[in-house]
Structure 1
């Protein structure tokens, strides 16, 4: 059975997908179930994760001009996750996923929820990457504190809505191949040799600014993070694909500039997940600023 807005009280399990970029130990600590998306490299299909499609594997394939595509989890995969939660004692499930404008993952979750043996609340984060992960964590914290499934779903939506995601790519070509930006925009960017800064707007990739060099782009990313944080307590994540030096420079700069906002919390940093990496290409650097909720 499925419900988009309500779920019964009782033990609720949070489910998300692998694009949420939650470290394995963090998901386990909060009892969050992670359903993997798939990456197709040539004729081989891999689940996203350390034992399958990794960032390094995707970056290498893109550099070698191998065909790379991605695939949502099947409804049957989600149904298995929901029924497993029910078998383990869950009375309801809260399923939180990346933007339905960017992937069929949310739709697959909704389809599976119709046949699940427990009530399933499906939440479209309207975000990608760790912003979805932070939303799932906020929901799990509400539940751990004794809150209802409805309250947890509301927290997930609020956390995602308040989060800001910005990213720099060396080229728009990979986003064009995946249909995430138009061919005209990609061609124009290449012709002018501009370095685009992108964001998520209403669940879709949107061009934010264009600069002439990678150095200026990274400096502007830092400024955007500071502007987005304002005076709020935040969580911050810097991710990259095959660009560790750029990411490290951003982490160092923002750890200082946003020290008050971070309140002693470390900046999360690491390689972008394989699925998202397949759409942006090597050299990409992203950051997510996620204001914390009172329940966090």
Structure 2
């Protein structure tokens, strides 16, 4: 039986294959533009995007149109939903929230739009919490509150090989203060108030990843947590980090390891490695 409240998210949640479907979550894709060709995220692989970035071809991204959200909301209503909660990546980084809000104005059922202030699995875990609340029979306000609360609890840490892709994409935020640092410096970054912010400066990639592991373990503590390990073109590093965190953190529940899609990859660049620590509610 379908939930009375439908949950919609966007493709930058990067939920593992099949997970959105199993939880009844509708995913609306963002778009990526490579060499003037526009495609939905999902129609181009992360490897293709990484190759274009390595060759310094122009790669840009675009929010979904309000019409795409209008279609998703209408489909949810047609499937029996009496309300929709639409859960999205940070409005400070994308116009996706704005597009969803525009579509919500004429939707056939009430729509609550949630700006998680997050990206990647920081968004994904919030969407999963919303879906779990909907399945329990929560109303739209309660479903939205579950997403907002999980997003507030979660922390995202990530490492990039270079800040150049973030700078070119206009998403560098407060991390711009690091641009004048030594060329060999490897930045650790975080998401603060929906924006990318500098965390620490480390001299080598191995030290950066080791430090990220320490910080993630400290954030988790003894609480039950879900973990998301995400990367672009760095699968061996991601698998090693996942294994080490599972050993270090006593109450890991769900742990997902995967490659980010081309929309986030276009801004982070090849070699990106990130951790999301999402305490349980």
Same-fold call, TM cutoff 0.5 = yes
Structure 1 segments, 4+ long, off by >2 Å, are 182-187
Distance 2:11 2:176 in 1: 31
TM-score (norm 1): 0.91
Out of 33, 40, 43, the residue aligned to residue 47 of structure 1 is: 40
Out of 261, 270, 280, the residue aligned to residue 251 of structure 2 is: 261
Q: Does 1:156 align with 2:144?
A: no
Out of 66, 71, 84, the residue aligned to residue 75 of structure 2 is: 84
Once the two structures are TM-superposed, the CA of residue 93 in structure 1 deviates from its matched residue by 0.4
Partner of 1:281: 269
Distance 2:39 2:191 in 1: 27
Q: Secondary structure at the match of 1:255?
A: helix
Partner of 1:171: 162
Contact 2:227-2:256 within 8 A present in 1 as well: yes
TM-score (norm 2): 0.96
Partner of 1:5: none
Once the two structures are TM-superposed, the CA of residue 192 in structure 1 deviates from its matched residue by 4.1
Unaligned runs of 5+ in 2: none
Q: Does 1:247 align with 2:246?
A: no
Q: Does 1:202 align with 2:190?
A: no
* CA offsets 1:15-70 (integer angstroms, 9 cap, x no match): 00000011231111110000000010011111111xx1221111011112211000
Distance 2:25 2:244 in 1: 31
Distance 2:266 2:276 in 1: 19
Q: Secondary structure at the match of 1:188?
A: coil
Change (3 A) 1:13 1:184: closer
Equivalent residue runs for 1:1-296 within 5 Å: 11-49=4-42, 52-181=43-172, 185=177, 187-189=179-181, 191-258=182-249, 260-262=250-252, 265-293=253-281
Q: CA RMSD in A?
A: 1.3
Change (3 A) 1:144 1:68: same
Distance 2:11 2:76 in 1: 17
Unaligned runs of 5+ in 1: 1-9
Once the two structures are TM-superposed, the CA of residue 187 in structure 1 deviates from its matched residue by 3.4
Distance 2:53 2:167 in 1: 14
